[in-house]
Structure 1
Amino acid sequence: MILYHGSLEIVEKPAILEPNHTMDYGKGFYTTTSKEQADKWVIRKISAVNQSKVYTNIYSFDEASLSSLKVLRFEAPDEAWLNFVMANRIDKDFSHDYDIVYGPVANDRVYAAFAFYEEGMLDKQGLIRELRAYKLADQLLFHTEKALNYLHFVKAEEVSK
């Protein structure tokens, strides 16, 4: 499997970093199977910093290793996914013991829908219906060092605005 990670730098040795804000699946190293998603993310990021070069890092991941890891997989934005994402986003002390979490990524439109949910303007089932109408990219979080051992750097490509 080929995975992508948009970054302000070349990341040959991925690491589990403590984020400065809450994330959908918790702390870890986020990747996606969509090069387009990784490129879009880092292009948005470049506008917030004074940096001329940004990169999409490319990795290989042996899917056979999943059998030796504790994996949480969400096929679609459903109630279990919503509960997990909200727990990670609302409770900075929320933690889980999965090596890898895979599922839909919350994009800008999703964040707006979450805001309506958090303000009580949408109920849980309404939010799920709304989210299922979106074409969402995926994300694969490497949450533990054990999981990162199976992720191998291939190369980095510079991304242009």
Structure 2
Amino acid sequence: MIVYHGSIEKVVNPEIREANRPLDYGYGFYTTTSEKQATLWVRRKLKGKGGKGYVNLYELDETCYKDLNILHFTEPTEKWVDFVMANRTTKDFDHPYDIVGGPVANDRVYAAFALYESGLLNKEELIRELKTHVLSDQWLFHTVRSLHYISFKEAKEVNL
């Protein structure tokens, strides 16, 4: 499997980094199987700053599926909502997974989550709403061990 990471720099040697804000799947190194999504991440980081960024391409060694503790959500479900909410709202929340994959919450999805958090949508309504969106995926490499299963192939330059 090929995964992409959007950044303002070439990332030949990925690292696990603590986030400065709550993220869907916790801290670590985020990737996607969508080059288009990675390009959008780069452009978001460049907005207002100008310059250039990179879509970094990696190959995933699929032996990770038998060697690592992986959680994969194929679509928005109650378990996915609970997992994302725990990562976003529980201080110091951590999980035991080496890799987590599943839908990425974009700006429209964040709006639906806000309605859920405020009690205007229940969990079933939230999931029904989310399933109407075409969601890209994201793959979080959460442990140093998980990073050993991706190898850098190239970095493609992206301009605003």
TM-score (norm 1): 0.97
Aligned 1:9-158 pairs, distance under 5 A = 9-48=9-48, 50-158=49-157
Shift of 1:53: 1.1
What is the aligned length?
Answer: 160
CA distance in structure 1 between the aligned counterparts of 2:100 and 2:64, rounded to whole angstroms: 14
Q: Deviations over 1:57-110 (max 9, x none)?
A: 010111122110000111100000000000000013110010000100000100
Aligned residues with identical type, % of pairs: 56
Aligned to 2:3: 3
CA distance in structure 2 between the aligned counterparts of 1:112 and 1:63, rounded to whole angstroms: 35
Partner of 2:63, secondary structure, is: helix
Shift of 1:51: 4.2
Query: Which ranges of structure 1 fall in alignment gaps of 5 or more residues?
Result: none
Q: Deviations over 1:95-144 (max 9, x none)?
A: 00100001000001000101111111111110000001100000010000
- Deviating above 3 A after TM superposition, structure 1's stretches of 4 or more consecutive aligned residues are none
TM-score (norm 2): 0.97
- 57-66 vs 94-103, which moves further: 57-66
Superposition CA RMSD, Å: 0.9
Partner of 1:63, secondary structure, is: coil
